[in-house]
Structure 1
Amino acid sequence: MDHKYTTPADTRIGHIHLKVSDLDRALEFYRDLLGFELTTMYGENAAFLSAGGYHHHIGLNTWHSKDGRAASRNSAGLYHTAILYPTRRDLAVILRRLIDADYPLSGASDHGVSEAIYLDDPDGNGVELYRDRPRDQWEYRADGSVKMVTDPLDLQDLLKELD
């Protein structure tokens, strides 16, 4: 196997597809709270949602998981889904929505290259809502690698974007 292969720079992760136990409850979270648009239903057991009219960024289904239990945090599987917001103000808007809905956060971090808010969806799937800082604000180590940190994110400062 050629270990020198590099994935093309324009490659993107196109969408996620999650097994959920209750489709209506998942739609309340992803559509009604986070604001993704429902693009289509696939029968009664799957829904596809998007931002900006794409065919789908998020697929939700109960094909093998209807009324099932959440996966154990101590087993292999998805750590979190990361949703990239275009601006710091957009991240502040979704933070305000979460606060107004009294939706629990599991964390908030400044990673140097990005600012992130963490929460779990109703099925216990981790969700990261974040925005990237412009690349010219990133720090690099002497070896050229990106310097990332996990510092507390000042949520009050983030909310000042809404003033």
Structure 2
Amino acid sequence: MNKFHTGPLIYPVDLCLNVKDMDMMVEFYSDVMGFDVLKKEDKRVIMGVPGNKILSFVRPDDVIQKPPRRTGLYHFAILLPDRKYLGSFINHLRDNNAPVTGGADHEVSEALYLQDPEDNGIEVYTDIPDSQWTWKGDQVNMGTEPLDFRGLMELGKDIEWKGMPEGTKLGHMHLHVSELEEAFLFYNTLGFQRVAEMGGTANFISTGGYHHHIGLNVWNGKGADPAPENATGLRYYTLAVSDEDSLGKIFRSLAEKKYHVTIEEGVLHTQDPSGNRIKIEIA
């Protein structure tokens, strides 16, 4: 499925979380999630797999717990390169008594859900081959059927879990927003298309015909406010583009529509109408 996370598409590559307990978070993402520590500084830790940064932690001096019912992160989704690794990961969680919050067969992917110690949502998933996805016009069918836990665990039983495998990446971001259409119009300006809707409360958007690179929902309430800048949770996430022309086009499109946008040292900085901060850079 690498064709959906490469140029000339726009796709997520990493995110940064504000955290309260850095040591606890690093331990969880190392021991439970299986990420490597790629770089460690005084107030920042970068984690991922060799050669691929996926997740950063920052501890603000005046950090507070994120207030309820705000915009921000619903979950971030880790895409594994093969479903056998999802089975191996499930076996690893079982063997370590790590709790999960659910699992589902979405007809485009198989997904497992859990929460980190500071209540950030995580999805770990593998894609079903896109030749098996069902489309109705420009809308992809995404269901919520029971996950085949038993079959996945059997598939992964002979694969020793040694951490997130090579090829693991940030597959998509799912965000709480305050207004769906307002949020979609912003992301459409970046180049994303709507590929699925859920009962007027969620949109799923992508580039290049993926089932979704970004999910948007109003499940924390329409008109929800952003969290304070020093609150735990999403600090920002990063989207990748293929070249300077693409970056320049996005900058001009955002500026023309009066969205806040700057470029510093080749990185575009903006935020969606719900206050979710975004960096856009050349992959």
Could you say which TM-score interval applies, normalised by the shorter chain? 0.7 to 0.9
Answer whether contact 2:85 2:156 (CA < 8 A) is retained: no
User: Please, which of 50, 54, 57 is the counterpart of residue 57 of structure 1?
Assistant: 54
Cα deviation, 1:55-95, whole Å, max 9, x if unaligned, reads x21001112565x43542x2222000100001000111111
Alignment correspondent of 1:35 = 34
Answer whether contact 1:21 1:65 (CA < 8 A) is retained: no
Answer whether contact 2:19 2:57 (CA < 8 A) is retained: yes
Alignment correspondent of 1:137 = 132
What secondary structure sits across from 2:99 in the alignment? coil
Distance across 1 between alignment mates of 2:62 and 2:54: 20
| One-letter identity of the residue aligned with 1:82 | A
Aligned pairs, number: 151
What secondary structure sits across from 1:78 in the alignment? strand
Q: 1:124 to 1:64 in 2, by over 3 A?
A: farther
What secondary structure sits across from 1:90 in the alignment? helix
What secondary structure sits across from 1:115 in the alignment? strand
Question: Which stretches in structure 2 are left out of the alignment for 5+ residues?
Answer: 1-6, 158-283
| One-letter identity of the residue aligned with 1:35 | G
Alignment correspondent of 2:18 = 19
Cα deviation, 1:6-28, whole Å, max 9, x if unaligned, reads xx742221201011111111111
| One-letter identity of the residue aligned with 2:46 | F
1:79 lines up with 2:74 in the alignment: yes
Higher relative contact order (CA 8 A, sep 6+): 2
Distance across 1 between alignment mates of 2:66 and 2:101: 17
Alignment correspondent of 1:3 = none
1:108 lines up with 2:103 in the alignment: yes
- Regions of 4+ moved over 4 Å: none
User: Please, which of 92, 99, 122 is the counterpart of residue 97 of structure 1?
Assistant: 92
Answer whether contact 2:80 2:126 (CA < 8 A) is retained: yes
Distance across 2 between alignment mates of 1:15 and 1:89: 24
- CA-atom RMSD, angstroms? 1.6
| One-letter identity of the residue aligned with 1:69 | Q
Distance across 2 between alignment mates of 1:102 and 1:87: 23
Alignment correspondent of 2:258 = none
Larger fraction in strand: 2
Answer whether contact 2:86 2:156 (CA < 8 A) is retained: no
What secondary structure sits across from 1:32 in the alignment? helix
| One-letter identity of the residue aligned with 1:17 | C
TM-score, normalization: structure 1? 0.85
TM-score, normalization: structure 2? 0.50
What secondary structure sits across from 2:90 in the alignment? helix
